[in-house]
Amino acid sequence: MTRSDENGRPHSLAETDGEARDFDTSRVFDAPRAVVFAAWTEQEHLKKWFAPTGFTIPVSHLNLVPGGAFHYCMRAPNGVEMWGKWIFQEIVPPERIVLVNTFSNKHGNLTRHPYVPDWPMEILTTTTFTEEDGKTIVHLRWVPVNASAAEVKAFDSMHAAMTQGWDGTFDQLAAHLATISRD
């Protein structure tokens, strides 16, 4: 069960003696904020860039409202499928998206990470979009929600891998943004 703050949003208090270290990453994109926000919030755009390098998103459903979800399938080059789900908490176009990120099955039910059994079941994700001189700074912050001590340890031990994964994903977003008309 997810704990909530005074505004009803999930928060990151871990059920441990200590807190997980937040995972933060940022990238500057050569595109206006409205274009980057659209790429992050429109299903047809997400299917073109939001997956690890070499993966595709053959199935996705998006309901971009607080309480709605982005439910998607990522297919590896070898055909193996992983499902994920974002549950939107707050959407402030074109400034911020707050969501709970989870692994799921094809029915949208929460599941464990397919390769890291102690991965936290829920990650509170805050993504902000700031425009400077026609470019957009995307800042992403992940914090485990209601994580056990083992889950906090797994999350903290994976920061380098998360950085590498997001670097590749951001590369794909940059390549996709270069294909979008800015008329």
Domain assignment of residue 169, yes or no: yes
Q: Where are the beta strands (DSSP E) in 6-157?
A: 23-29, 56-62, 69-75, 81-92, 96-104, 110-111, 123-132, 135-144
CATH number at residue 35: 3.30.530.20
Domain assignment of residue 81, yes or no: no
* pTM, to two decimals: 0.87
Mean pLDDT by 10 residues, the chain (183 residues): 42 49 96 97 96 91 98 96 97 98 97 94 98 97 96 96 94 95 61
pLDDT value of residue 128: 98
pLDDT value of residue 48: 94
Contact (Cβ atoms closer than 8 angstroms) between residue 93 and residue 37: yes
Domain that holds residue 143: 23-55+91-100+116-177
How does DSSP assign 119-148, residue by residue? Answer: S-S-EEEEEEEEEETTEEEEEEEEEESS--
Domain assignment of residue 66, yes or no: no
Domain assignment of residue 37, yes or no: yes
Domain assignment of residue 144, yes or no: yes
Domain assignment of residue 158, yes or no: yes
d(CA 102, CA 86): 6
Domain assignment of residue 38, yes or no: yes
Q: How many domains does the chain have?
A: 1
